[in-house]
Structure 1
Amino acid sequence: MLLAHATLRHSYPHCWRHRTPVIFRATPQWFIGMDTAGLRRDALAAIANEVEWFPGWGEERIAGMVAGRPDWCISRQRTWGVPIALFVDKASGAPHPRSIELLEQVARRVAQGGVDAWYALDARELLGAEAERYAKVTDVLDVWFDSGVTHACVVDARPELAQDGHADWRVMYLEGSDQHRGWFQSSLLTRVAMTGHAPYRQVLTHGFTVDEQGRKMSKSLGNGIEPQDVMKRLGADILRLWIASADYSNEMALSEQILQRVSDTYRRLRNTSRFLLANLDGFDPARHLLPVADCLLLDQWIIARADDLQQQIVAACDRYAFAEVVQRVQNFCTNELGALYLDITKDRLYTMPRDSRGRRSAQSAMFRIIEAMVRWLAPVL
């Protein structure tokens, strides 16, 4: 007896490109075992002990991915890519017992004739009478394996990048947050498998550019802002200053209103610099620069504030906190300089004799400040 009849709607995976249902089919593949030789354990140790992560949450993110990931399927069935240059037994599917030696021979041929050397290779050239028993593998490597071994292709293969005869791994990997699952991880796994150590000493992750409402920029939404357009309308300095002032640890919002605020900041920095330079007319630091101890107390104070800011900026740069650098310089120009020091000092600059101690003291302070500002802003503006 039929008691009820209903239609149930199920969620089913679809191809993101073709919008058609995905059919799953189990096929033989090549894998790198995560636990067979302790690769997962060693990778997690390298994440925790060998690498600095910027921002700090990157460590927890990639550690969680490595801890929970399955074995790495490195084979793909495509007609392009880096071939998996193996010979397997036609009956059992087992790799040839001399696979390492054969791989080296194939690698030499590929180095001379390109990747087509593998596809044109007659198995009898390497296997002789055994060729009838073995088949060439037609799979290619996962592209993440390709990119994941750049540490070997770029650094190991170039002696000029080595120090004391060893590859110098004091390097940073810098990419978007999606690469914890991609390049950061494939590079880590391949290098740990080869040497037991991470391929990098620092990893910096940045967010992606979104609009003011946090939406991804796209043509369909009409919310995209082209960098070339910003440079034509506002200048490259505005674009660079926005990038330096954005908190890259999260998604970075960009809109016309945000660019206008960045332009205001730029004008503040530029006008402050112009004022300092304008009041250094006739000042020759070789002859007129006073020692800090001989300057007036107000000038000593602003020099000390600039020295403190210099130390803060160096510390921020060491942490790659570039938005903090821009904010601190802006606050210094607005508060200490604009709202206090420059306003008070104008009388000395405009009324005191040209070579008086009071005027030279102010100019000595201004010279030190503008010299410091050039250092602070030169990487950006």
Structure 2
Amino acid sequence: SYPHCWRHKTPIIFRATPQWFVSMDQANLRQDSLNEIKKTEWLPEWGESRIANMVEGRPDWCISRQRTWGVPIALFVDKDTGALHPNTQELIEEAAKLVEKSGIQAWYDLDPATLLGDDAEQYMKVQDTLDVWFDSGVTHACVVDAREDLTGPADLYLEGSDQHRGWFMSSMMTSVAINGHAPYKQVLTHGFTVDENGRKMSKSLGNVISPQNVMNKLGADILRLWVASTDFTAEMTVSDEIFKRSADRYRRIRNTSRYLLANLNGFDPKTDKVAIEDMVELDRWIVGRAAELQDEILAAYDKYQMLLVTQKLMNFCTGELGSFYLDVIKDRQYTAKSDSHARRSCQTALYHIAEAMTRWMAPILSFTAQEIWEALPGERDNFVFTSVWYDGLQASSQGKFSNDDWLTILNVRDEVNRVLEAARKEEIIGATLQANVSIYAGEELSSKLAALGDELRFVLLTSGVTVETVTTQPEGTQATEIDGLFIKVAATTAEKCERCWHYCDDVGAEPAHPEICGRCVSNVDGDGEQRQFA
């Protein structure tokens, strides 16, 4: 139970020695600091009460140390009384000039008579050094205020949660004493990295994971993604398995970006871009969703909520964009005429999303974002980091289907996929394009689905679909998680089009193209198919 040195593990011997202190109450430093703490934004919010309690209960600040290295306390004191030399302010300035010219050692090598003259007989040079927290705590004065290109207070101070008692507090107190206000507008604190068992990283435990090794093995962006994907307000768990999961998330984002770039091949935004009001409705919807998402991501960045940014980016790549939109547009991208409105509309949406998404990820996946940036079509700055947030996204209220309508359609698609998967397991069908789907629903939902017409099959990735209005479950149908929605799947009897792989009754109807459907004939030899919704 006896106090021991935290580093050497040896018993501590206590002795009383003269020290230099900063009074917390003589010039109202404590209360003034507490007032400035209230004016500062603390992230997370509990940081405010933490540092306020520390300042409120702390004793006077002992700023002197008996060490042979460090920033000297450049004072001269009376050998008998300990009183400061009456010209202390001028002497400090002279000492500062010597240090500025010759370095810290100039003070230790200084003969007091050089500055004091005859007074050197009565006064001695203080050998103490400053508390290192005083050194770091005055960066607002010796860095920010001293540079013409910087202005205080600083926007943000960022450090671990242990710095409430250290750098954050010493910076606050010195700035309040010198300038009368806080040195920062915001303070953000993070937890420490621990292993999978919650133990702190240390050489003695042998559980240290070197960031350099992670970068050498997986790449810098995966390390950055792990940092951004972790709740930094608490202890941050790290292990090889966690890095593996980060690599999987990164791969999904990268593959989505590669798909966007691949499908922008041959697209020139100057000549091929379709106006938002003229786009196919599904394309207009996904651009609108990206616009909403960008607002959410920028708001998260403003609050340093990197975890939320990565979650929203990942959910977009795996959800509405990756699992729905990109799946639906494959048919259009691969089978429509290369310069048709249907395909250019889709490419326009992909272009807008790629422009925006690259900027979203740039602060986190910096190397990947720059790689994508250099491959995007159109004229641009050399670096994504010198660009501003993309302003080409627009949410449009035009069209037959609202955002809620498309989300409903997406939910119906999920239910259809569940029934299709069951049909595959029962070997009723092979691929989903071998299926004819019958959908039965209440009047509101059925009319919404029927409004898509023949294009509903493209949304569902089936070769045929019918919609009927019902009030009860028809015989032979599957109930779903959506109230009043019932689904039936049957294998198609139509022929397979060798070009689009859809099963259609009109395959071979055109003698010149006996192996393809009428839609593909139009895309090959005619004006190309028209798409309104999907």
TM-score by length of 2: 0.66
Q: Which runs of 4+ in 1 moved over 4 A?
A: none
- The match for 1:126 is 115
- The match for 1:200 is 184
- The match for 1:350 is 334
Shift of 1:296: 1.2
3-state DSSP class of the match of 2:73?
Answer: coil
Shift of 1:254: 0.9
Code of the residue aligned with 1:346 in structure 2: it is K
Query: Is the contact made by 2:140 and 2:152 (CA closer than 8 Å) also made in structure 1?
Result: no
| Residues paired across the two proteins, number | 365
Shift of 1:320: 0.8
| Candidates 90, 94, 102, aligned match of 1:105 | 94
Q: Does 1:32 align with 2:22?
A: yes
- The match for 1:4 is none
| Candidates 209, 214, 231, aligned match of 2:193 | 209
Shift of 1:347: 1.6
Shift of 1:321: 0.7
| Candidates 56, 65, 70, aligned match of 2:59 | 70
3-state DSSP class of the match of 2:199?
Answer: coil
Instruction: Report the Cα distance in structure 2 between the residues aligned to 1:347 and 1:113, rounded to whole angstroms.
Output: 74
Query: Is the contact made by 2:209 and 2:239 (CA closer than 8 Å) also made in structure 1?
Result: yes
Query: Is the contact made by 2:157 and 2:187 (CA closer than 8 Å) also made in structure 1?
Result: yes
- The match for 1:327 is 311
Matches within 5 A, 1:179-328: 179-328=163-312
Query: Is the contact made by 2:144 and 2:154 (CA closer than 8 Å) also made in structure 1?
Result: no
Instruction: Report the Cα distance in structure 1 between the residues aligned to 2:106 and 2:266, rounded to whole angstroms.
Output: 72
Query: Is the contact made by 2:152 and 2:184 (CA closer than 8 Å) also made in structure 1?
Result: no
- The match for 2:136 is 147
Code of the residue aligned with 1:27 in structure 2: it is T
Shift of 1:89: 1.6
3-state DSSP class of the match of 1:323?
Answer: helix
Instruction: Report the Cα distance in structure 2 between the residues aligned to 1:228 and 1:117, rounded to whole angstroms.
Output: 39
Q: Does 1:14 align with 2:4?
A: yes
Q: Does 1:363 align with 2:347?
A: yes
Shift of 1:268: 0.9
Shift of 1:21: 1.3
Instruction: Report the Cα distance in structure 1 between the residues aligned to 2:348 and 2:289, rounded to whole angstroms.
Output: 14
Shift of 1:178: 1.1
Moved more, 127-136 or 141-150: 127-136
Distance change (3 Å), C-alpha of 1:79 and 1:221:
closer
| Candidates 125, 138, 145, aligned match of 2:127 | 138
Structure with more of its chain in helix, by fraction: 1
Instruction: Report the Cα distance in structure 2 between the residues aligned to 1:343 and 1:308, rounded to whole angstroms.
Output: 21
Structure 1 vs Structure 2 CA RMSD = 1.5
Code of the residue aligned with 1:125 in structure 2: it is T
- Bigger radius of gyration: 2
- The match for 2:360 is 376
For structure 1, the residue ranges without an aligned partner over 5 or more in a row are: 1-10, 162-166
Distance change (3 Å), C-alpha of 1:343 and 1:87:
same
Shift of 1:324: 0.7
Instruction: Report the Cα distance in structure 2 between the residues aligned to 1:60 and 1:205, rounded to whole angstroms.
Output: 13
Question: Any idea what the Cα deviations from partners look like across 1:312-347, whole Å, max 9, x if unmatched?
Answer: 111011001111111001001111012211122222
Shift of 1:124: 2.9
Instruction: Report the Cα distance in structure 2 between the residues aligned to 1:315 and 1:90, rounded to whole angstroms.
Output: 61
Q: Does 1:55 align with 2:52?
A: no
3-state DSSP class of the match of 1:201?
Answer: strand
Code of the residue aligned with 2:8 in structure 1: it is H
| Candidates 49, 66, 91, aligned match of 2:80 | 91
| Candidates 36, 45, 50, aligned match of 1:46 | 36
Code of the residue aligned with 1:187 in structure 2: it is S
Distance change (3 Å), C-alpha of 1:307 and 1:229:
same
Select the structure with the greater relative contact order (CA < 8 A; seq sep ≥ 6). Answer: 1
Identity across matched positions, percent = 64
TM-score by length of 1: 0.92
3-state DSSP class of the match of 2:184?
Answer: coil
Shift of 1:71: 0.3
Question: Any idea what the Cα deviations from partners look like across 1:248-295, whole Å, max 9, x if unmatched?
Answer: 111111111111111111111111111122222222211111111111
Distance change (3 Å), C-alpha of 1:225 and 1:124:
closer
For structure 2, the residue ranges without an aligned partner over 5 or more in a row are: 366-534
Instruction: Report the Cα distance in structure 2 between the residues aligned to 1:347 and 1:120, rounded to whole angstroms.
Output: 81
Instruction: Report the Cα distance in structure 2 between the residues aligned to 1:222 and 1:21, rounded to whole angstroms.
Output: 26
Q: Does 1:175 align with 2:155?
A: no
Shift of 1:14: 0.5
Shift of 1:214: 1.5
- The match for 1:8 is none
| Candidates 131, 145, 148, aligned match of 1:159 | 148
Shift of 1:118: 2.3
